[in-house]
Amino acid sequence: MAGLGLEGVTLAIIIGTLAAIVYSLRILVLLERRIARMDENLLKITHNIQAEEVKIEEEEKKIESLLKGAKSKAKKE
């Protein structure tokens, strides 16, 4: 049993290259899934922040209306 001939070496190189391509595709799919999860989490965070901002704006309006009422009462006295 002599070593691999030229055809055997070429075949081994081709198979190794294909295995590397398949592995790289696997890694790319895993990274894409991870990035998709990160995007979903960012969307959840932005929705939470938006809801908090709406609450804060409503509270500001209440405070401003109370302050305006207090100022008008102070002017009348």
> pLDDT tens digits for 30-72?
999 999 999 999 999 999 999 999 999 999 999 999 888 877 7
Q: Give phi and psi for 4, each to the nearest 5.
A: -70, 140
Query: Residue type for 69, please?
Result: G
Residue pair 4/12 in contact (Cβ under 8 Å)? The answer is yes
Cβ of 2: how many Cβ atoms within 10 Å? 4
Among 2-6, 12-16, 19-23, which is the least confidently predicted range? 2-6
pLDDT category at 4 given cuts 50, 70, 90 is: confident
Question: What three-state secondary structure class fits 4?
Answer: coil
Structure tokens at 26: 């696997």
Asked if pLDDT for residue 3 goes beyond 60, the answer is yes
